[in-house]
Amino acid sequence: SQKIEQNSEALNIQEGKTATLTCNYTNYSPAYLQWYRQDPGRGPVFLLLIRENEKEKRKERLKVTFDTTLKQSLFHITASQPADSATYLCAPADTSGSARQLTFGSGTQLTVLP
Amino acid sequence: DAGVIQSPRHEVTEMGQEVTLRCKPISGHDYLFWYRQTMMRGLELLIYFNNNVPIDDSGMPEDRFSAKMPNASFSTLKIQPSEPRDSAVYFCASHTDRGALIRYGYTFGSGTRLTVV
């Protein structure tokens, strides 16, 4: 069955450092992968998308890589700030058939310490 | 646009009672999804609709759960009878079409935190 794994432990880093979150998937081949941010008491918010033919995508201080051979995506936040503290979810998705829904990883809780 | 609106934000009910959760998607969004989030299982898809028609309800845990979408601006998720293991945060999400899903992702509501005692 399809499986998505994110950093199992919460991640604490010092302000100003780069945070790196991992998303591994097995038993399917996603055509693209999305990353979401979730704050306590709120629904997830879409951050960015990377397609299978893209190695890297950047948006401001965010960088995402997608390695279809390793079946892994890395999500980086450079120059991290306390306001970046949240849970980050990955959602690899295929475009086969009539698929319209996303399957989410369990998330990694990031805390940026001042 | 006010985004995806869910009500109530919090619901506490006794085991055996009926619970109804409500969702108003963003106007023009043809797809509506109900997800459940728990610490143990993360975000799980329960059911989704396209143009008010249920397309995939394979995630609905059992017959105690039912969902309806009587029109494009309203959906309900009902649990009858409720059980303590149903305690979770229930999210509604929507998007316009497959292309928009890829480019912009889902828009989620703020969720309903359900506690069954």
**pLDDT tens readout for residues A16-45:** 999 999 999 988 788 889 999 999 999 999
- The verdict on a CB contact (< 8 Å) between B48 and A32 is no
Residue with the larger pLDDT of the pair B101 and A10: A10
Per-residue pLDDT band for A98 (boundaries 50, 70, 90) equals very low
Is the separation of the CB atoms in A38 and A86 below 8 Å? yes
The pLDDT, as a whole number, for residue B1 is 66
Is the separation of the CB atoms in B45 and B35 below 8 Å? yes
Considering only CB atoms, which chain A residues are within 8 Å of B55?
A: 98, 100
- A40: closest chain B residue by CA: B110
CB-count burial class (<10 Å; 0-12, 13-18, 19+) for B53: exposed
Decide: helix, strand or coil at residue B86: helix
**pLDDT tens readout for residues A47-58:** 999 988 898 999
What is the Cβ-side half-sphere exposure of residue A15, based on CA atoms within 13 angstroms?
5
